[in-house]
Amino acid sequence: MPANSDPLPAPAPPAHGPDAGAPVERAVVLPKHLHARPAGQIAQAAARRQTTTIELIAGTKRANARSVLAVMALGAVSGSEVRISVAGPGDAAVLTEIVEILLAPEE
């Protein structure tokens, strides 16, 4: 067998399951209004992950999670369903962090 005929290495497994690159999503029902404080916390969490796409969806409105004003403009109030869609590196961890912010009790 010639020296340069080594078999090719096996491809690396996908980052997070068979549909790597597909967004992960979760829906939550808000226990409180989505006002400035949680919107700011979400924007800060999103800003720490520049290579990840994070969107919040409430009804027919969509918001880039990096924008406090866009998140607040969703107009989501207590009892509203908000979907979080995350695609990119560390998507499951980011999703969990944002869900925790949305479900945290009022201080």
pLDDT tens for each residue of 51-79: 999 999 999 999 999 999 999 999 999 99
Q: Verify whether residue 35 is a known catalytic residue.
A: yes
Residue 11 counted as domain residue: no
Give the model's confidence band at 105: pLDDT under 50 very low, under 70 low, under 90 confident, else very high: confident
Boundaries of domain holding 62: 24-103
Give which of 38, 27, 11, 23 is closest to 90, Cα–Cα: 23
- Catalytic residue of the set 17, 20, 27, 35: 35
Residue 97 counted as domain residue: yes
Is the confidence at residue 8, as pLDDT, over 60? no
Is the confidence at residue 45, as pLDDT, over 50? yes
Specify the CATH number for the domain of residue 51. 3.30.1340.10
Average pLDDT along the chain: 86
- The least confident of 5-9, 11-15, 33-37, 52-56 is 11-15
Residue 14 counted as domain residue: no
Are residues 52 and 94 in contact, defined by beta-carbon separation less than 8 angstroms? yes
Choose between 19 and 85: higher pLDDT.
Answer: 85
Q: How far is it, in rounded angstroms, from Cα 87 to Cα 5?
A: 38
Number of folded domains that form the chain: 1
Q: How far is it, in rounded angstroms, from Cα 62 to Cα 58?
A: 7
